Structure 1
């Protein structure tokens, strides 16, 4: 719980101590953004995510693993958002997944589509000043069980899950401060229920080049430093909690973003776990790498 409060404090300080800052910056890489696409804007986002799990934890402490268990995943999330109006956006996201698990006792792998997510965002607050803006949106999503849960490793949870949250940001001149929080209510499949989860993120953005943004569009480079956290409750089987599930994890996520034109964004980030307070005995996350492209169409 200390790590969660540390992150919330960091978010609060970041939003209060706003730098004085022409307004131009791409969206954060791992944290959501309250900046919508504009009237009838359409976009596509394709990413490659690599996840590696190879360190065993017991009650939040690293321990040796006699079975030498590892899980490697490569995911290709494809998202398509669309603005219904200038302040209301809807969209969908589905990942193509390749997951491999191995240990001294053997290995297995799965490949295919994961669970489909449908989402919506609505602009609640917009306060524009001289070369700065402050915005808040509300967001919600529903995850559908399109991934095969019967494979080993599974590609989906087999449940319908719901999520509600909010995103805020202040952006001015070369700086941006972003905060994102959401809570997920997970369903039950075959008597098994994954724990509900709280996601919390904060991002600090800095436009490295150009130092002065004079005309739109202008080629630019952005740097991001993010804290990305997730607190998950314990899974349940027939309403009985499983001790070796759930916990809290926080990543420190530096990233770089290149915007060559008004239509495209190229970005890369690495997520390094700085706190893994996992319940019982679990395989923790070693690193997450991400590269992606976003394309905007009008």
Structure 2
């Protein structure tokens, strides 16, 4: 599930899917620099449907993956927060091999992620805040990576887990006003080898704009706010390695655009979006993304 979570945010990312704890808007597909209140928890549940197809290899590959991603964050101090991410995944691959159509699938707990985020810059004036926060973490091999079926061992893209421990780091910045919010993020993830397979390292740049639609003007006693969200995710993935040899039919660059909506209250958020690839410059016969659907909720306590 490593690739699925980090790329979608997802994932992943993946990962980095938590919002603020005070009812502010937040990105759907990546992190924010807004704080988690000291000694408070945030819980987020994100449901992700990932569809890949349009196979240039002639094998008619069709890959579907569903994940229910549970995220728990805790504000250690006003500047430092810790997060844990645990997905449940259901992955399937249909492929034509030697004239036969084969369906291969697996489900179960995926790889868990732990990371910390620390605010290093905070600039506040009435009606506006600007924050910058680096983060660092690791994805742990908690998912099963040795699933088999009647055709033998499942390929890495279908395994619930990766079998490897993979560190990542990045920095996120947030600029928030009463009417809109802008978030940007840079991150890099080092994927390590397991079972003679190594997923390519992943570098990404993310940006999100959240603009308040309703109410049009701020008044006291408003129970919630409706935000329009537009996000961009530029993701570069290095080539995979099999037995130490690079696979020329893997990796490349993808640009996603994600329109979405959020309903925000002081204690909870309901949100949804569709992640659409607008540019895919992939290597060889790498399988293309078609769409990723995201829906979820979050609340703090």
- Normalised by the size of structure 2, how large is the TM-score? 0.85
1:132 aligned onto 2:128: yes
Q: CA deviation at 1:189?
A: 1.2
Partner of 2:162: 157
Q: CA deviation at 1:237?
A: 2.9
Partner of 2:180: 175
Distance 2:130 2:292 in 1: 30
In the TM superposition, 1:158-237 aligns within 5 A as: 158-215=163-220, 218-237=223-242
In the TM superposition, 1:16-55 aligns within 5 A as: 25-55=24-54
Q: CA deviation at 1:191?
A: 3.0
Q: Which runs of at least 4 in structure 1 moved beyond 4 Å after TM superposition?
A: none
Find the residue that maps to 2:119 and give its secondary structure: strand
Partner of 2:6: none
Distance 1:239 1:216 in 2: 61
Structure 1's 203 and 216: CA in aligned 2 closer, same or farther, altered over 3 A?
A: farther
1:123 aligned onto 2:128: no
Distance 2:272 2:197 in 1: 36
Partner of 1:286: 290
In the TM superposition, 1:219-298 aligns within 5 A as: 219-259=224-264, 261-297=265-301
In the TM superposition, 1:8-23 aligns within 5 A as: none
Q: CA deviation at 1:68?
A: 2.0
Residue deviations 1:94-115, cap 9 Å, x none? Answer: 1000111112331011110100
Partner of 2:140: 144
Find the residue that maps to 1:133 and give its secondary structure: strand
Name stretches of at least 5 consecutive residues in structure 1 with no aligned partner: 1-22, 57-62
Find the residue that maps to 1:281 and give its secondary structure: coil
Partner of 2:59: 67
Distance 1:251 1:129 in 2: 33
Distance 1:134 1:206 in 2: 16
- Normalised by the size of structure 1, how large is the TM-score? 0.86
Q: CA deviation at 1:24?
A: 7.5
1:79 aligned onto 2:78: no
Distance 1:100 1:35 in 2: 36
1:108 aligned onto 2:93: no
Which range moves more in the overlay, 89-98 or 182-191? 182-191
Contact 2:25–2:181 (Cα < 8 Å) also in 1: no
Partner of 2:9: none
Distance 2:140 2:231 in 1: 28
Q: CA deviation at 1:117?
A: 0.3
Residue deviations 1:223-248, cap 9 Å, x none? Answer: 11010121011112343211111111
Contact 1:50–1:73 (Cα < 8 Å) also in 2: yes
Q: CA deviation at 1:215?
A: 3.7
> Over aligned residues, Cα RMSD in angstroms?
1.6
Distance 1:217 1:150 in 2: 52
Number of aligned residues: 267
Distance 1:47 1:131 in 2: 30
Distance 2:217 2:252 in 1: 44
